[in-house]
Amino acid sequence: MTEIHSAWLPPEAFRAIGSRRVLVAGEGPLVETVREEVGRACAGFGGSLADGADLVLATWESLPDGARKVLDGAEPGGDEEFLIGRRGGVTVVAGGPAGVLYGLFHVVRMGERAFGADFAAEPHRPAMRRRMLDHWDNVDVHPVMGQVERGYAGGSIFWEEGGPRGDLERVRAYGRLLAAVGVNAVAVNNVNVHATEARLLTDRLGDVADLAGVLRPYGIKVHLSVTFAAPVVLGGLDTADPLDEDVRAWWAEATHRVYEAIPDFGGYLVKADSEGQPGPFAYGRTHADGANLLAGVLAPYGGVVHWRAFVYDHRQDWRDRSTDRARAACDHFAPLDGQFAENAILQVKHGPMDFQVREPVSPVIAAMPRTRLAVELQVTQEYTGQQRHVCYLAPMWREVLGFEPWGPGGRSVAGVAEELVAVSNVGADPYWTGHPLAQANLYAFGRLAWDPGLDPGEILDEWIGLTFPDVAERVREPLRTIMDGSWETYERYTAPLGVGFMVRPGHHYGPDVDGYEYTPWGTYHFADRDGVGVDRTRATGTGYTGQYPEPWSEVYESLERCPDELLLFFHHVPYGHVLKSGKTVIQHIYDTHFAGAEEVAALRPVWDGLAGLVDPALHARVGELLDEQLRSAREWRDQINTYFFRKSGVPDAHGRRIH
């Protein structure tokens, strides 16, 4: 198979639009994109681009008066907003140029419903001002990490062996898919910026401009990961001190040239003083100093800097139980609240560690009210099955976005964050994401960034309807069975009760309970013959619970009130500790691991039932991956159970086989 999968935009998804008379009114590249989409759809399904229309897609300025009446005199909003309404057999979408584009894809999602009964004008606007995908793509193949760091879908769609891949049609198709879910920003290279990639800022800038040119008609701005040491490694200066005038001048000049090449360039993304990347600490400066330097040179052009809060000591001594990586981001950044420039955005991983299957929400999110925050998710499944396991992540993200750091009724994470950013799961694989069903995660990310209140099941239904339009009603139930609970299934057979990790060091696939236990990475479970878990209480542990506001600081501190699923993240408990479920910790470990593997075993027959309904190649690919998932889930089950049985000596209450 060399053809690229159509994902959630197969031709059939445009049938409702394509079989109608459509007026597209307005100017500019985004409206041109809409016109092109509608034209292609009409060519396929017998409709027409016409004056008299069943559907009007127009910018406010170009909206015909008749159509304007359908919207009941609604007022224009921001560039990305749109209104949609239907009256007297005409469906009208009006908005800013990007809004019209998003409105088009809204109509695609609605399908025939958009042309049924009248409905009053509804305003649509994105909850997050920036909905961004970070590509951890390298230009050069990294000797350890490969072309895409933590990539599980083949090579990069942008880069190949040291230069641009050159297949801009593929990039264009990607931009189209992203526009259809509302993504409006893409960072095109890895946050770990190596030598070649650093030069994207300077002499390889043309490659970035090419990508920007292709993505522009889809409303997507291009961002660039830069190395904080650029003035030294590229500019030949002897310092990268953010308060040095020459350094500032160098960045100003470099940025000027970027905007000459890419007038709508989005901005810079920086991982500084983290896992070996250079940063302001080397010069005795703060991260605010570092971020503001770049914010300052970007501001004249309307650009922003995304500054990652993922800063911790990755050379920790495992013997030292007082240091706690979970504390690091808050310890580093909370004191800087209020010091960041207006166009500096602090990009915070959703949890305090590193994209584990279960983590509490990062306390940074509640700790910096005077700082613009982007919450970072990981669509690429580094710790959640690496696109070999089915793991539909929207339920986890929905929990994160709905979490109320100040307690029930207070603002939610979605209300605090101005942006939602995710590490992309896309590569040069024909299915885009390696596992065809992992497309749903990319889809759901965009949809939740637009509207964090959406229900993960409904998102899945949307995705199924678009991706499998001809057979949606026959595949919906089986796919929901396979995907709805897949995150919780994955959690059951992997690291228990929020303790995290237990993966093979390096590649992070498959189990290795002690793999990180005696390393410098700060990721420990402290299991001994008596118990397991990390004491992060103020009373006897690292004090991490104190980084939360009330009520969570008390809830997490309390062994009684702490939610079961996070128990081992916050507490070290004996194996005999009884959970709210009524089970002991050790029996919970056994039960969930047997159950998780059994749940995976049950997926294959469900999938087999879809044979003949979905494309045979796709069917075969998912089938093979389900086999691997089952093998891996059993390996997890057996290693985890054996490990804890050998340590605890407690037999399984049900006498099942533990090796």
| Interface residue list for a copy of itself (CB under 8 A) | 143, 318-319, 506, 511-515, 518, 527-530, 635, 638-639, 642-643, 645-649, 659
Close Cβ partners of 24 (under 8 Å, ≥ 6 residues apart): 31, 34, 35, 38, 49, 57, 58, 100
Based on CB atoms, which residue is closest to a copy of itself, 334 or 650? 650
Tokens of 512: 């290795």
Catalytic annotation, pick one of 275, 615, 624, 628: 275
Q: Are 392 and 441 in contact (CB under 8 A)?
A: yes
Question: Least separation, in Å, of the C-beta of 151 and a copy of itself?
Answer: 17
Close Cβ partners of 331 (under 8 Å, ≥ 6 residues apart): none
Based on CB atoms, which residue is closest to a copy of itself, 95 or 596? 596
Tokens of 310: 């993922």
Question: Least separation, in Å, of the C-beta of 7 and a copy of itself?
Answer: 32
Q: Check the CA dihedral 629-632-637-640 and report its sign.
A: negative
Based on CB atoms, which residue is closest to a copy of itself, 554 or 635? 635
3-state secondary structure of 474: helix
In order, the DSSP letters of 435-454 are SGGGHHHHHHHHHHHH-TTS
Question: Least separation, in Å, of the C-beta of 646 and a copy of itself?
Answer: 4
Catalytic annotation, pick one of 382, 419, 491, 591: 382
- How far apart are the C-alpha atoms of 199 and 189, rounded to whole Å? 11
Question: Least separation, in Å, of the C-beta of 514 and a copy of itself?
Answer: 4
Q: Which of 71, 32, 66 shows the shortest CA–CA distance to 49?
A: 32
Instruction: State the distance between the two ends of the chain, measured CA to CA, in whole angstroms.
Output: 42
Question: Least separation, in Å, of the C-beta of 513 and a copy of itself?
Answer: 7
- How far apart are the C-alpha atoms of 461 and 476, rounded to whole Å? 7
Q: Are 351 and 360 in contact (CB under 8 A)?
A: yes
Q: Check the CA dihedral 479-484-486-489 and report its sign.
A: negative
* CA max distance for the chain: 78
- How far apart are the C-alpha atoms of 163 and 158, rounded to whole Å? 9
Give, for 21, the enclosing helix (H) or strand (E): strand 21-25
- How far apart are the C-alpha atoms of 230 and 203, rounded to whole Å? 13
Based on CB atoms, which residue is closest to a copy of itself, 256 or 504? 504
Based on CB atoms, which residue is closest to a copy of itself, 285 or 525? 525
Based on CB atoms, which residue is closest to a copy of itself, 187 or 532? 532
Pairing outcome for strands 119-124 and 130-134:
unpaired
CB neighbours of residue 143 within 10 Å: 6
Question: Least separation, in Å, of the C-beta of 153 and a copy of itself?
Answer: 20
Active-site residue flag, 354: yes
Based on CB atoms, which residue is closest to a copy of itself, 512 or 565? 512
- How far apart are the C-alpha atoms of 410 and 470, rounded to whole Å? 43
Question: Least separation, in Å, of the C-beta of 506 and a copy of itself?
Answer: 8
Based on CB atoms, which residue is closest to a copy of itself, 248 or 314? 314
Catalytic annotation, pick one of 37, 354, 429, 591: 354
CB neighbours of residue 76 within 10 Å: 16
- How far apart are the C-alpha atoms of 564 and 104, rounded to whole Å? 44
Torsions phi, psi for 526 (to 5 deg): 60, 30
Pairing outcome for strands 82-87 and 119-124:
antiparallel
- How far apart are the C-alpha atoms of 379 and 392, rounded to whole Å? 10
Based on CB atoms, which residue is closest to a copy of itself, 467 or 641? 641
Question: Least separation, in Å, of the C-beta of 577 and a copy of itself?
Answer: 18
Question: Least separation, in Å, of the C-beta of 638 and a copy of itself?
Answer: 6
Q: Are 209 and 262 in contact (CB under 8 A)?
A: yes
Residues carrying an active site annotation: 275, 354, 382
